[in-house]
Amino acid sequence: MIALTTPIETVRIDLADRSYDILIGENLLGQAATYGQLPKASAALIVSNTTVSPLYEAALRQALSSHYKVIHSVQLPDGEAHKDWVNLNHIFDTLLAHACDRKTVLFALGGGVVGDMTGFAAASFMRGVPFVQVATTLLAQVDSSVGGKTAINHPMGKNMIGAFYQPQRVVCDLGALKTLPARELSAGLAEIIKYGPIADMAFFDWIDTNMAALQACETQAMAHAVKRSCEIKALVVGQDERESGLRAILNFGHTFGHAIEAGLGFGEWLHGEAVGCGMVMAAHLSADMGLIDVAFVNRLTDLIQRAGLPIQGPVLNAQDNAGHYLALMQHDKKSIAGDIQFVLIDGPGKARVSAAPEAMVRAVIDRCCA
């Protein structure tokens, strides 16, 4: 349906009238055809940040100029620490200052922070305008841009204020990954690794074998990793869009990870780093609960370490570190009546969500933090 000059892979998110395509390939971002057949509008707003905008906004603007009469833009400050009300409001201020209407299409140009904020702005401006995710980090291409979770942080908890709101299209330009700092690439690898233990051990084995190619950002390896990650996410989201059950497995490593992010202050560790370390902790908990053997915990830990991610959690409180983690984890969105829920590996390739005895959780935190 879309005549592009470079080969692309397409993954479909099947959600009835909210279905859309994820386009994966090199040099997609700057081609007009990438943005064909989107909802008709006279105006578009590009939302980006001060790092990504100088790299890619001109190319996106050029591509969009065949589709929109006017293209406005807003640049947010860069970083997780700015995923807040003040900057969300900056998007609304820009939309209103330009007299944008309810047909205006928003383009999120950046990683997960810009994507989550633009999605939330699109969900709420005039009760909902269309938006497109132009994902420029690996983490955004394999996870955050797909599936319609949008949010900002609250000082007391990660992604606490937001909405489920699906984009019209997701664009994953593998060429954009070439300018990504190595630490950010590692953060994205965490979310790729995540899909193995919860859903697909053949993919886990493939990642294990191809880690060096992924770290070198080799196009063929990256194309496969992005496509397979999006396929797995599409399968899960297609069955449980609003996380009434199954979708929670995509939060493997996130219960511990979100506590690390909030406990250290947003932006201190990257989201992917906290998730990588959180997966190690959740794997230890799964083993302690008799669901997997220690050999698998060691294999997963080794892979996470080879991806350049931390495998030991930070000490958040010198007096009662485990108690501090527990208090932070109670704010997790999966908690039920104060009971913390964990995504546990129920045998390699399968996950389940459940509570865990507090003494076991404390023991894992004590063992995994230094």
Task: Please report, in angstroms and rounded to a whole number, the separation of the first and last CA atoms in the chain.
Answer: 53
By a kind-dependent CB cut-off of 5 to 8 A, residue 247 interacts, out of ligand GLY, ligand NAD, none, with ligand GLY
Query: Binding to ligand NAD by residue 117, rule CB under 6 A?
Result: no
61 phi and psi angles, rounded to 5 deg: -55, -45
By a kind-dependent CB cut-off of 5 to 8 A, residue 28 interacts, out of ligand NAD, ligand GLY, none, with none
Nearest distance in Å: CB 37, ligand GLY? 25
CA–CA gap between residue 230 and residue 6 (Å, rounded): 20
One of 158, 169, 224, 247 touching ligand GLY (CB under 6 A) = 247
> What residues have CB less than 8 Å from 223, skipping those under 6 apart?
9, 24, 25, 174
Query: Binding to ligand GLY by residue 24, rule CB under 6 A?
Result: no
Are residues 158 and 262 in contact, defined by beta-carbon separation less than 8 angstroms? yes
Query: Binding to ligand GLY by residue 341, rule CB under 6 A?
Result: no
Query: Binding to ligand NAD by residue 276, rule CB under 6 A?
Result: no
Query: Binding to ligand GLY by residue 188, rule CB under 6 A?
Result: no
For ligand GLY, the closer CB: 46 or 152: 152
Q: Are strands 70-76 and 43-49 parallel, antiparallel or unpaired?
A: parallel
Q: Are strands 20-25 and 169-173 parallel, antiparallel or unpaired?
A: parallel
Of the candidate spans 115-123, 143-151, 256-264, 349-357, the one that interacts with ligand GLY by CB under 6 A turns out to be 143-151
Are residues 158 and 133 in contact, defined by beta-carbon separation less than 8 angstroms? no
What's the token pair of residue 201?
A: 């051990």
By a kind-dependent CB cut-off of 5 to 8 A, residue 141 interacts, out of ligand NAD, ligand GLY, none, with none
CA neighbor of 109 nearest in space, from 85, 132, 139: 132
What's the token pair of residue 195?
A: 């899909």
Active site members = 127, 149, 191, 233, 243, 247, 251, 254, 258, 271
Site for ligand NAD in 37-76 (CB under 6 A): 49, 51-52, 55
Query: Binding to ligand NAD by residue 89, rule CB under 6 A?
Result: no
CA neighbor of 132 nearest in space, from 22, 17, 2: 22
> What residues have CB less than 8 Å from 212, skipping those under 6 apart?
none
**Site residues, ligand NAD (CB under 6 A):** 49, 51-52, 55, 78-80, 83, 110-114, 116, 136-137, 139-140, 143-144, 147, 149, 159, 176, 179-180, 184, 187, 271-272
**Site residues, ligand GLY (CB under 6 A):** 143, 147, 149, 247, 250-251
